[in-house]
Amino acid sequence: MKKLLSFLFFVAMAAVAVAQTPQEIISRMETEMEKHEKEGIVMTVDAKISILGTVTTKTYSLGDKMRSEGKMMGIEIITWTDGNTEWSYNSKTNEVKISTQEESSETEGDAEMFSDITDGYDVTIDKETDKAWYLLCKKSKSNKDKDDPKKIELAIAKKTYMPISLKTKMSGVTITMRDISFGVTEKQVTFDAKNYPGVKIVDKR
CATH number at residue 150: 2.50.20.10
Helix then strand then coil, in percent of the chain rounded to 5, is: 25, 45, 30
Task: Specify if 114 maps to a domain.
Answer: yes
* CA distance linking residue 128 with residue 123, whole number of Å: 14
Look up residue 171 and give its amino acid: S
* CA distance linking residue 161 with residue 133, whole number of Å: 9
Where in the sequence is the domain holding 74, given as residue range(s)? 27-203
Task: Specify if 19 maps to a domain.
Answer: no
What pLDDT, on a 0 to 100 scale, did the predictor assign at position 144?
87
Residue 139: name the closest of 119, 154, 121 by CA. 121
* First-residue to last-residue Cα distance in the chain: 82
Task: Specify if 15 maps to a domain.
Answer: no
* CA distance linking residue 110 with residue 43, whole number of Å: 8
Task: Specify if 7 maps to a domain.
Answer: no
Task: Specify if 21 maps to a domain.
Answer: no
- If one counts every other C-beta atom within 10 angstroms of the C-beta of residue 194, the result is 5
What pLDDT, on a 0 to 100 scale, did the predictor assign at position 61?
94
Question: In the predicted model, is pLDDT for residue 16 greater than 60?
Answer: no
Question: In the predicted model, is pLDDT for residue 6 greater than 60?
Answer: no
Per-residue pLDDT reduced to its tens digit, 73-95: 889 999 999 989 999 999 999 99
3-state class of 183 per DSSP?
coil
Task: Specify if 128 maps to a domain.
Answer: yes
* CA distance linking residue 2 with residue 87, whole number of Å: 73
Average pLDDT over residues 49-76: 89
Residue 5: which pLDDT band, with cuts at 50, 70 and 90?
A: very low
Question: In the predicted model, is pLDDT for residue 184 greater than 90?
Answer: yes
Task: Specify if 39 maps to a domain.
Answer: yes
* CA distance linking residue 80 with residue 60, whole number of Å: 9
What pLDDT, on a 0 to 100 scale, did the predictor assign at position 112?
64
Average pLDDT over residues 101-121: 65
